[in-house]
Amino acid sequence: MSDTAEAKANPMETQSALPPEETERLTTEIIAGLKTVFDPEIPADIYELGLIYKVEIKDDRSVDVQMTLTTPNCPAAGELPTMVENAVASVPGVGVVDVKVVWEPAWTPERMSDEARLVLNMW
């Protein structure tokens, strides 16, 4: 599976020694938090848009997030990473959140979920 397909299929990772039920709860709540973050110019959340490449929950409950933007010139480039950090940090039990914007692989519309395609009428 390519990195793009793998990230689209499941960007959540854990190298945590936390109990599986706690990891599952954190994963579910982090995804729910990410789905509250919208690109101000696109009426779909960043998770469904495929902008989240990786979320890693660590033993100390810190969370590393790798995300991208639809374009390097995205007008929301300054605010979206902070919005992502705040959304993940708001999950009970999450420690320090580190969000990194990455450009490889480049985002393409193929990364979008069917839900995002439906919202954006991109069939």
The domains of the chain are located at 20-115
Rounded Cα gap, residues 72 and 78, in angstroms: 11
pLDDT tens for each residue of 39-49: 888 889 999 99
Q: What is the pLDDT of residue 16?
A: 66
Whether this model's pTM surpasses 0.85:
no
Tens-binned pLDDT, residue by residue, of the chain (123 aa): 333 333 444 566 555 688 889 999 999 999 999 999 998 888 899 999 999 999 999 999 999 999 999 888 888 888 999 999 999 999 999 999 999 999 999 999 999 999 898 888 876
Q: Are 123 and 55 in contact (CB under 8 A)?
A: no
Q: Are 52 and 34 in contact (CB under 8 A)?
A: yes
Q: The domain 20-115 belongs to what CATH superfamily?
A: Fe-S cluster assembly (FSCA) (3.30.300.130)
pLDDT tens for each residue of 19-38: 889 999 999 999 999 999 99
Q: Are 67 and 30 in contact (CB under 8 A)?
A: no
| 3-class secondary structure, 86 | helix
Question: Strands of 12-14's sheet, edge to edge?
Answer: 12-14, 52-57, 63-67, 97-101
